[in-house]
Chains A and B, each alone.
Chain A
Amino acid sequence: DGGITQSPKYLFRKEGQNVTLSCEQNLNHDAMYWYRQDPGQGLRLIYYSQIVNDFQKGDIAEGYSVSREKKESFPLTVTSAQKNPTAFYLCASSISARETQYFGPGTRLLVL
């Protein structure tokens, strides 16, 4: 059963805490992406990776970090430096960086 999985579905963060959102794909896609979506807003790119062990900052990378040690995994860490982390986080992947992106179900991050 191919696809993109994100976990957890809901995540709560305390002040000053780093949290990590998981994204896994078994589509054998080279490129992976993280987006942030605020209520009623569009998609804003946080980070993207076109190949294993390489990633680039998107439009709103401050306060976030990523790693791409395996082709199928692209975890996103929301650090304590991100002062307004409450949002819906979407992971996506594509065969190559300019082709159709397929999205996961998303993780909703809330601050306690």
Chain B
Amino acid sequence: QQQVKQSPQSLIVQKGGIPIINCAYENTAFDYFPWYQQFPGKGPALLIAIRPDVSEKKEGRFTISFNKSAKQFSLHIMDSQPGDSATYFCAASIRAGNMLTFGGGTRLMVKP
């Protein structure tokens, strides 16, 4: 019930492509869904977050889509650049719970 399943594990796209990373969850009590970006040898940094009262949120080239009925949310990166090459983690937290649950991560490579 606490799991967040993330796919794919790795992804390779050409510059300018739109990589899509998906996450699915079971626990309907989750109500906060952040995405983190991690470069090699660095700590993860918050990229963008969404709450279930909206279906989409955009920040620059990054967009989260949220499907409450399907219990899924996804990250889209528009006009991807080689500098976007990193590992991306989705996460979720429970309304009455006490911490974030992380997905397994997706290693993205954007080729020049």
| B112 part of interface (Cβ distance < 8 Å) | no
A42 in contact with B105 (CB, 8 Å):
yes
Given A42-B89, A42-B104, A98-B100, CB of A104 within 8 Å of CB of B43: yes
Secondary structure type dominating chain A contacts:
strand
Given A42-B103, A45-B99, CB of A100 within 8 Å of CB of B43: no
| Chain B neighbourhood of A104, CB < 8 A | 43
Residue among B42, B99, B103 making CB contact with A98, cutoff 8 Å: B99
Nearest residue (CB) in A for B107 is A40
The one of A4, A101, A108 in contact with B100, judged by C-beta atoms closer than 8 angstroms, is A101
Cβ–Cβ < 8 Å partners of B54 in chain A: none
Contact with B43, one of A45, A48, A99, A106 (Cβ below 8 angstroms): A106
Q: Does A53 contact B (CB under 8 A)?
A: no
A98 near B97 (CB under 8 angstroms)? Answer: yes
Give Cα distance in the complex from A87 to B43, angstroms. Answer: 13
Specify which of B45, B93, B102 is in contact with A43 (CB 8 Å cutoff): B102
**Interface pair A103/B45, CB less than 8 Å apart:** yes
5 contacts between A and B (CB under 8 A): A4-B43, A31-B99, A40-B107, A88-B41, A98-B97
Q: List the interface of chain B (C-beta within 8 A of A).
A: 6, 32, 34, 36, 41-46, 49, 89, 93-95, 97-100, 102-105, 107
